[in-house]
Structure 1
Amino acid sequence: MSVTDDIRLYLDEKRAIIDAFPTEAVHRAAEMLFETYDAGGTVYAMGNGGNAGTLDHAYCDFKHHPFVSEDKSAPIAASVRRLHFVNLCGSAAELSGLVNDLGPDSMYSASVEPFVTPRDLVMAYSGSGNSPNVVRALEVAVKAGARTFAMTKGDGGRCRDLADVCLVVPGTSRFPGQTGRNDNNFHFEDAMLSVNHMLVGLLKKRVADAAAPARASHP
């Protein structure tokens, strides 16, 4: 195949994924996010490798974007509840310390277990659905009675069994770099960013709708 053919292959695969995308899982994830926000709970998010980088982006978006005006010219009123969002991948010092002291399989569960409550939402991103550190933290969240969301691909792995809502990115790939054990991984990572953007936008709409009556009564 030529380079152009490979590019078209990637885009064709992406279109097929979009057409088959499990929108109901996004809907249910949004409902859990709303419940967590309304309860004053905390969102904890985790992933490995490139997924951890995407969660740094998500941390910025979830923490700030729903709470600025539509044109981004000003924050909304300080009286409007903000979302508590913890990026468990965010600190290199913390992660390296936990790995050094407790081992890589406990790096996320050790951060979550002392704090997670039934008011919270734990979001897990694992392409295989079997990453030991992600699975162990989900087990802790389930034991605590927290809401749980996972995003995976393939058969969903252990995450599919543990999470209240598990979004499994559909499809398979023939594109270079995401075949074999890495099947569909680029598309999974692309979809992860899209799902986070959908959830941020839906939360922004909910926050704006809730704030509208207050603005109307105080012109």
Structure 2
Amino acid sequence: MSDLNIIKQRFTEHIILSQHVAASGILEQVAASAAIIKKALKNGNKVLFCGNGGSAADSQHLAAEFVGRFQKERDGLAAIALTVDTSVLTAVANDYGYDTVFARQVQALGNTGDVLVGLSTSGNSKNVLAAIEAAQAKGMQCIGLTAQGGGKMAEVCDICMAVPCPVTARAQEIHILIGHILCELVDGE
């Protein structure tokens, strides 16, 4: 297959998946997630994001959209990516194990009324699941972004938006679209 054909195929796959998601119940989950985040921020709480690999990058991206700005000028919104402090990540991983790197930060930084957004295409990342458990113990609501099936996160999150696709790259493309929509809805307040 030529490079051009591969490019066309990936765009086609993305368009088809986007249309499938737009016709699914995920849209209502996005709206419900936005309402949870808006309420938390309005009440002086914050949003914590976590994920591994590309999902770590998406966590950082979305936290930056909240703290900086998305499409309009506004005050910064309280959001933290739990993926960025290398000293904390390496100390916690060294002392307690990698599965605890996000949970430990949730224990230290999370409060009742805060929101945790966990990103894991498998829905089974042990460190994200541990963060969800720690968040729930603190009275936080948990929103998940996963891929097909949702994994264990589908069972433990308050809302789990499972993109109906087994391909990690396509699911992550939809995750960032959902993230941007959340930013826009929160910006609208």
Same topology, TM > 0.5? yes
Instruction: Structure 1 unaligned segments of length 5 or more: list them.
Output: 70-75, 172-182, 207-219
CA distance in 2 between counterparts of 1:128 and 1:140 reads 20
CA distance in 2 between counterparts of 1:113 and 1:193 reads 26
Query: Given the alignment, which residue of 168, 184, 188 partners 1:201?
Result: 184
1:29 maps to 2:33: yes
Equivalent position of 1:160 in the other structure: 154
Q: 1:8-19 maps to which residues of 2 (within 5 A)?
A: 8-19=8-19
Change (3 A) 1:67 1:189: closer
Secondary structure at the counterpart of residue 142 of structure 1: helix
Query: Given the alignment, which residue of 53, 60, 76 partners 2:57?
Result: 53
Instruction: Structure 2 unaligned segments of length 5 or more: list them.
Output: none
Equivalent position of 1:109 in the other structure: 103
CA distance in 1 between counterparts of 2:5 and 2:37 reads 40
Aligned pair count reads 185
One-letter code aligned to 2:60: D
Equivalent position of 1:215 in the other structure: none
Query: Given the alignment, which residue of 81, 86, 93 partners 1:87?
Result: 81
Equivalent position of 1:187 in the other structure: 170
What are the Cα deviations for residues 132-169 of structure 1, in whole angstroms up to 9, with x where unaligned? 00001101112222111000002111111111110011
Equivalent position of 1:142 in the other structure: 136
Equivalent position of 1:65 in the other structure: 69
Q: Give 1:2 deviation, angstroms.
A: 2.9
What are the Cα deviations for residues 153-203 of structure 1, in whole angstroms up to 9, with x where unaligned? 0211111111111001123xxxxxxxxxxx411112212221221111111
Q: Give 1:94 deviation, angstroms.
A: 1.3
What are the Cα deviations for residues 73-127 of structure 1, in whole angstroms up to 9, with x where unaligned? xxx5xxx6x4211110011121111111110001110110234232100000001
Secondary structure at the counterpart of residue 65 of structure 1: coil
Equivalent position of 2:7 in the other structure: 7
One-letter code aligned to 2:83: C
Question: Which has the greater radius of gyration?
Answer: 1
Change (3 A) 1:161 1:93: same
CA distance in 2 between counterparts of 1:36 and 1:87 reads 16
What are the Cα deviations for residues 35-61 of structure 1, in whole angstroms up to 9, with x where unaligned? 111111111110001111222222221
Q: Give 1:128 deviation, angstroms.
A: 0.2
TM-score, normalised to structure 1's length?
A: 0.79
One-letter code aligned to 2:53: G
CA distance in 2 between counterparts of 1:196 and 1:154 reads 17
Is the CA contact (8 Å cut-off) linking 1:66 and 1:203 kept in structure 2?
A: no
One-letter code aligned to 1:53: A
One-letter code aligned to 1:199: L
Secondary structure at the counterpart of residue 129 of structure 1: coil
CA distance in 2 between counterparts of 1:4 and 1:84 reads 42
CA distance in 1 between counterparts of 2:72 and 2:161 reads 29
